[in-house]
Homo-oligomer: A and B are copies of this chain.
Amino acid sequence: MTTQFESAVIADLERLVPMVESALLAPLFDFEAPILQEAARYSLEAGGKRVRPVLCLLAAESADKSAETALSCAIALEYIHTYSLIHDDLPAMDDDDLRRGKPTNHKVFGEGQAILAGDGFLTEAFGILAGAAKLTSEQKVQAIQTLSEAAGWRGMVGGQSLDLEGENLVKEGKPYDYARLQLIHRLKTGALLRASLELGAIAAGADGGIRSALREAGAALGLAFQIRDDILDATSDSETMGKRVGKDEGKNKITYPKLLGLDGAAKALEDTTERAVGLLAPLPNPSSLIAWARFLSVRAN
């Protein structure tokens, strides 16, 4: 049975993913390092749901501007996400051999080239924003500042560091509470989803109230996304997910289901989704993002 919001999400994907895909590979031309180019292309073409770029484009539309306005922001976000996956999969980090049903970047190209491919995506993301044809200099600077904050020490990279450290706390039997889990996910997953909606607002030239609503709704969506991820890891199988599951169990990771139980995690997911919906409702054109909020809370992979 397809619900109304699932149909809306599928329609958005059919409309916006081709726009993202068509712009994603362009920065890969004109290259003097062929193996690096191949490694970068491999990870871009590995598929993925393009959730962050699509949310960024929808955020621009929710503020009554065209999706095209935010396309450079969307590509920069997918580059940051792609870099983070390549580095997270490395043996020194999550040590994953499989991503989206395919061997991870370092399994194909070696660890050195994989680290460099990630470094390259991260660097190019900021170059893409600086070169964005549809943004004013002021908008470019705001987008770069927002993305740097979300991706760096105070955002995604900080969250990943705390997560690595947390595995050691658990191994050593040290306390690990709900506040710490929330902090890690606010930084590790939440910050980039928050930035996805905020960059859409910046590209749309939205006023402070709309920008702030999209930013906070993005933070709530990020948290909901992570809770759903933890629930899926605890209850799904590798074939559905296209990656190894049950891995949190084996790796001393603290998850929402472990800390709150499956019912408690489901309740936290529901509350967070409703918070996002409440923030989105007053926007000029909120229906797509609201459908996405509901969809992300029940997605199956």
Interchain nearest-CB distance for A50 vs B (Å): 21
Q: Which of A109-150 contact B (CB under 8 A)?
A: 110-113, 115-116, 118-120, 122-124, 126-127, 129-131, 136-138, 140-142, 144-145, 148-149
Contact A152 B164 (CB under 8 A): no
Contact A35 B165 (CB under 8 A): yes
In terms of DSSP, what is the predominant structure of the interface of chain A? helix
Asked if A161 lies at the interface with its beta carbon under 8 angstroms from chain B, I say yes
Contacts of A164 in B (CB 8 A): 112-113, 116
Asked if A199 lies at the interface with its beta carbon under 8 angstroms from chain B, I say no
Complex: how many Å from CA A136 to CA B93?
39
Q: Which of A74-131 contact B (CB under 8 A)?
A: 83, 87, 90-93, 110-113, 115-116, 118-120, 122-124, 126-127, 129-131
Complex partner residue of A148 from B33, B124, B158, CB under 8 angstroms? B124
Asked if A37 lies at the interface with its beta carbon under 8 angstroms from chain B, I say yes
Asked if A245 lies at the interface with its beta carbon under 8 angstroms from chain B, I say no
Complex: how many Å from CA A183 to CA B34?
13
Q: Which of A30, A122, A129, A140 has the most B CB atoms < 10 Å from its CB?
A: A122
Interchain nearest-CB distance for A202 vs B (Å): 12
